[in-house]
Structure 1
Amino acid sequence: LSERLGPRLFVKPASLGSSIGANPAHDEASLAFALSAALEHDDTVLDVPSHIDTATASKVRELAREAFEVLRCRDLARVDFFLDAQGQLFVNEVNTLPGFTSASLYPRMFEASGLPIREQVRHLVESALARS
């Protein structure tokens, strides 16, 4: 698992918010503990980052942009999806105030795409200042 996802993992229950039931995993023993603790709260396993094909990733971006615009969001939002076994996408939630700590999904997704948190914050501040 660490070969595929990296040596530093964080395991949390899929259906709980914040850091309830979440634990770091840096070796096989701590991974076993973290998985066991998470599964006490939830029997769903999510693989993040997900490994989806290019067409599905493109559709996710398109639907996320549509949801963002239809709801008239601005600056930031995290759009969560479900992908069923047949490959159909469902918008699960549009979170207009996602967590923004170093452990939160929102900044971690941008970091994974190459946009450091410092740049994220700079963009948000500049966007807010442009409206004032």
Structure 2
Amino acid sequence: PVSLNAELFPAESSKQDETIDVVFPLLHGPNGEDGTVQGLLELVNIPYIGNGVLASSAGMDKVIMKNIFGQAGLLQAKYVSYIRNEWKQNPDEAYAKVEELLGYPCFVKPANLGSSVGISKATNRESLEKAFEEAFMFDRKVIIEEAIIGREIEIGVLGNDNPSCSVVGEIVPKKDFYDYKAKYEDGDTALIIPADITDEQYETVKTEAIKAFKALDCSGLVRADFFLTKEGEVVINEVNTMPGFTPFSMFPLLWQEAGVSYPELIEKLVELAIERHTEKQSIKYTI
């Protein structure tokens, strides 16, 4: 039989006895963190850092993710979703439904993209129509969410079956919302670590983040993003199953403030990957 491992990851002729210990699939977006690469690594039976196929794919699709969060009892913004064909058949009905259920302002997003690509804020029917057209350029499915007024806070989750949480950080965008340009081009955003929140609010964020982690059957790491409203409500926005990982990205900075250095964080993730892979080897698939 042909070895998938040998075909996909050929060793150099002088190093035929080498094997891959752990893969760190530090990839973002479709065909990276959506379960596809994770599925490939499962097929070749190589340990890898981060979430498995199910959590990665569910975490990438904002509609599926929010459906699961709703079943888990997490507080989140109201939302509706459409696939392209539904919208094309009766766009006015789609716009009217958004206006009735969510009102203005609202946000229109591609369901399966990250980094705020294709996201628009709609404040009236005209901008809503443009927002739908923009989002459908990037995906066959879009999600429309009510606007939540609140501070944008994030927390890192680390672990497998018994996850732990970092400190909380806050994003303070100088623009109307945290779009792609603010994230990657302007640098027009402040990160406050740790965020100025109460102990009670921190405990709520931590509890809700772990609840979201377990609801998606996550492993390794996630960054959980929330809104903290003026009334003190903690509203989950989403989780990122492979957050940015430069030394200056939010996730490593949150853990650095919690006392875990960048090298220590990577070492811990490697340990978690091996732990999960070892456990899977004990599972029987036939009688």
Q: Which residue of 1 aligns with 2:178?
A: 15
Q: Which residue of 2 aligns with 1:6?
A: none
TM-score by length of 2: 0.33
Task: Kindly report which structure 2 residues correspond to 1:78-89, keeping only aligned pairs within 5 A, or say none.
Answer: 78-89=223-234
Contact kept in structure 2, 1:81 and 1:90, CA below 8 Å: yes
TM-score by length of 1: 0.69
Q: Which residue of 1 aligns with 2:212?
A: 67
1:86-109 per-residue CA deviation (whole Å, 9 max, x = no partner) reads: 000100110001000012100000
Letter in 1 for 2:231: Q
Contact kept in structure 1, 2:228 and 2:234, CA below 8 Å: yes
Following superposition, the deviation at residue 74 of structure 1 comes to 0.6
Moved over 6 A (4+): none
Q: Give the structure with the higher percent strand.
A: 2
Task: Kindly report which structure 2 residues correspond to 1:40-119, keeping only aligned pairs within 5 A, or say none.
Answer: 48-49=192-193, 50-119=195-264
* Distance in 2 separating the partners of 1:12 and 1:116: 26
* Distance in 2 separating the partners of 1:52 and 1:84: 12
Following superposition, the deviation at residue 119 of structure 1 comes to 1.0
Q: Which residue of 1 aligns with 2:267?
A: 122
Letter in 2 for 1:81: F
Structure 2 unpaired stretches of 5+? 1-171, 279-287
Following superposition, the deviation at residue 16 of structure 1 comes to 2.8
Q: Which residue of 1 aligns with 2:125?
A: none
1:32-90 per-residue CA deviation (whole Å, 9 max, x = no partner) reads: xxxxxx2xxxxxx7662220000000010000000000011110000011001000010
Contact kept in structure 2, 1:12 and 1:21, CA below 8 Å: no
* Distance in 1 separating the partners of 2:185 and 2:199: 33
C-alpha RMSD of the superposition: 2.0
* Distance in 1 separating the partners of 2:235 and 2:270: 31
Structure 1 unpaired stretches of 5+? 1-10, 23-37, 39-44
Give the secondary-structure state (helix, strand or coil) at the position aligned to 1:98: coil
Decide which structure has the larger Cα Rg and report it: 2
* Distance in 2 separating the partners of 1:57 and 1:95: 19
Total equivalences in the alignment: 101
Instruction: Give percent identity, aligned residues only.
Output: 32
Higher RCO (CA < 8 A, seq sep 6+): 2
